[in-house]
Structure 1
Amino acid sequence: MINLNGSIVDQQQAQIPFNNRGTYYGDGVFETLRCYEGKPLLFEAHYFRLMASMRILRMEIPQSFTPEFIEEEITNLLAKNNFTQGHARVRFTVWRKPGGFYTPQDRNVEFAIESSEIDGKYQNPSSREVELFKDHHVVSGMLGNLKTAQKMVNILAGIYAQENDYQDMLLINEKKMVVESISGNLFLRSGDTIKTPPLSDGCLNGIMREQVLSQLKMMLNYKVEETTITPFELQRADELFTTNMIRGVQSIHKYRKKAYETTCADELIELINGRYFGA
């Protein structure tokens, strides 16, 4: 079952207009939430990011889109799909109503919520090799910080990884600086210094990115910097890892001929699992 504009309907029966602007122009935004025991984690952070994204994209925010309304819609769907125990993934998608060409005739929105079961607590993968994706680049600036429905660079990078037997790809911006991976923010450790690209470089304003930054700043054994990362730094680093809400912290084990440690990522995973899942 899914939630389509506030109604719980069977996924196979759900219908949206063929000319919806999400399909035609990528005119939409979404949030991906990790849920535990029937409740979304860090809901407030997701809610305010969604509202900020809708404002930046000049969408008309419905008066009904209060934190209480959206959280209740999510928890009701989780209950309907029997996801009140264990772990689940929820995607909340918003798109502008049909009409117009590039310029919309109607700034009002429609929405859908879908949920699926996922495995247990966060775990670090045993093997993950990456490469630099140079065919296309993300654009630095504010639009790159949003989870929009238009993710063509990520899609093409995913196809490249699939065709070449990589587990992820690192994306660069128009200045040839390393920005993020296909589905997560990037962190680089050299000695006791940990770097992550600033939002101005075009990386996603990730919820887990903020959680990891806050955690690292409390750990006295590391110095944290939000600064540009060049491709040349990748092979000189001691450790690379990526973050997102669904997978948590994931180590990168190999880039070209360079093999990496997993020390900091392992430590973060243990701390984050303890905070959210009590284990």
Structure 2
Amino acid sequence: MSNFIHFNGKIIPAENPLVSAGSRGLRYGDGLFETMRVINGRIALHYLHFERLFNGLAVLQFQCPASFTPAYLAEAVLALCRKTNIEKGARVRLNVVRGNGGLFDPDNHIPNVIIEATPLEAPAGIQEQGLVIDIYNTVRKHYDVLANIKSNNYLPYVLAALHANNNRLHECLLLNTAGRICDATIANVFWVKDGRIYTPPLSEGGIGGVMRRYLIENVAKQHAIREEPLTPEMLEQADEVFLTNAIMGIKWVGRYRDKEYSNQMATLLYNEYVKKLWE
């Protein structure tokens, strides 16, 4: 944990208290967040992160001052990394919450910003051992206007992560209300069948991942990626399964229950499209 954080334009000691009991972020999860990777003084895929963030702020009806821009936030992130001497490699969480107030009477709708940064080394390559995963089906995601944003109201993923820990799994996949797979606790899911790459469309209820979008927009030039619904039965018929997010890039799945997978396509995509982001 870093000794410093950014809070509303200032870099302060991390142990300083930030919110009161009346915080809507604390009371209602009224906010959203981005998790970013800083490498050599730059934010990887920054344009996709800030596009998603500001789309989410609009959905949650925040009122952003004119000075509250992607450029302002990017400089705040990098300034914190410079302050803590980790600008060569860092994991950054940028959290935006509404201020104090009750459910019907917030004090205002201006974003409050908390930024945390911790050291993070770039991986040498895709991981050697495949992940062991399963499906968490106790809580299912609805598809609505909130489904694709990184809301602070994260309970389905919290419970899925607890299930993974309690069952010695690396990850869990989540289902939507129709019983189809939408995403994982901290990642989007892709699968490969007969040389074709697939991922669930966002209409299935998964979060609109930055790495997911990057791959869809870039890999299609060489390898077609199709967006199709994914059922648990289809998962068992896949040749490969891999997970993506902005911190790890790509991680391949080695086993789902009794099914084992290869990793040729995941390794190819990592080497061709993800590895260069960490350089």
1:54 equivalent in alignment to 2:24: no
Tell me the equivalent position of 1:230. 231
Give the corresponding residue for 1:275: 276
Q: Where does structure 2 lack aligned partners over 5 or more consecutive residues?
A: none
Deviates more, 1:162-171 or 1:139-148: 139-148
Question: SS at the partner of 1:142?
Answer: coil
Kindly indicate whether residue 116 of structure 2 is the aligned counterpart of residue 114 of structure 1: yes
* Residue in structure 1 matching 2:215, options 209, 212, 216: 212
CA distance in 2, matches of 1:78, 1:61: 24
1:255 counterpart letter in structure 2: Y
Report the TM-score, using the length of structure 2 for normalisation. 0.94
Deviation sequence 1:144-192 (CA, Å, 0-9, x none): 1000001101110111111111110010000111111110000011012
Structure 2 residue aligned with 1:88 = 90
Cα distance between partner residues in 2 of 1:133 and 1:199: 19
SS at match of 2:237: coil
Q: Which runs of 5 or more residues in structure 1 are unaligned?
A: none
- The one-letter code matched in structure 2 to 1:268 is L
Give runs of aligned pairs for residues 34-73 of structure 1, distance below 5 A. 34-73=37-76
1:166 — aligned with what? 169
RMSD in angstroms over aligned alpha carbons? 1.4
Cα offset for 1:215?
3.0
Q: Displacement of 1:273 after TM fit?
A: 4.3
Aligned to 1:5: 8
Q: Is the 8 A contact 1:45 1:207 kept in 2?
A: yes
Does residue 1:200 correspond to 2:232, yes or no? no
The letter for the 2-side match of 1:252 is V
Is contact 1:4–1:14 with CA below 8 Å preserved after alignment?
no
- Work out the percentage of aligned pairs sharing the same amino acid: 29
Q: Distance in 2 between matches of 1:233 and 1:242?
A: 16
Check whether the contact 1:88–1:117 (CA below 8 A) recurs between aligned residues.
Answer: yes
Assess if the C-alpha contact under 8 Å between 1:158 and 1:168 holds in 2.
yes
1:5-44 alignment, distance < 5 Å: 5-44=8-47
1:200-235 deviation line (CA, Å, top 9, x unaligned):
11111111001111232122xx43211111111011
Q: CA deviation at 1:58?
A: 0.7
Mapped contact 1:192–1:223 kept (Cα < 8 A): no
User: In 2, Cα distance between the equivalents of 1:144 and 1:163?
Assistant: 26
Is contact 2:5-2:117 (8 Å) kept?
yes
The residue identity in structure 1 corresponding to 2:99 is K
Q: 2:79 aligns with which of 59, 76, 80?
A: 76
Alpha-carbon shift at residue 265 of structure 1 (Å): 0.8
Q: Contact 1:60–1:108 at 8 Å: present in 2 too?
A: yes
Q: Determine helix, strand or coil for the equivalent of 1:17.
A: coil
Contact (CA 8 Å) 1:158, 1:182: kept in 2 or not?
yes
For normalisation by structure 1, the TM-score amounts to 0.94
Contact 2:130 2:254 in 1 (8 A): yes
Q: Secondary structure of 1:235's partner?
A: helix
Query: 1:78 touches 1:115 (CA, 8 Å); kept in 2?
Result: yes
- The equivalent of 1:175 in structure 2 is 178
Task: Please say if 1:104 is aligned against 2:128.
Answer: no
Mapped contact 1:142–1:202 kept (Cα < 8 A): no
* Amino acid in the other structure paired with 2:158: I
Whether the 8 Å contact between 2:250 and 2:274 is mirrored in structure 1 is no
Rounded to whole Å, the distance in 2 between the matches of 1:276 and 1:19 is 40
How far apart are the structure 2 equivalents of 1:135 and 1:273?
33
User: Is the Cα–Cα contact under 8 Å of residues 93 and 115 in structure 2 kept in the other structure?
Assistant: yes
Q: Give 1:17 shift.
A: 1.6
For the 8 Å contact 1:3–1:112, the answer to whether it is kept is yes
8 Å contact 2:38–2:87 — kept in the other structure? no
| Residue 240 of structure 2: aligned partner | 239
1:141 Cα deviation (Å)?
3.0
CA distance in 2, matches of 1:174, 1:21: 28
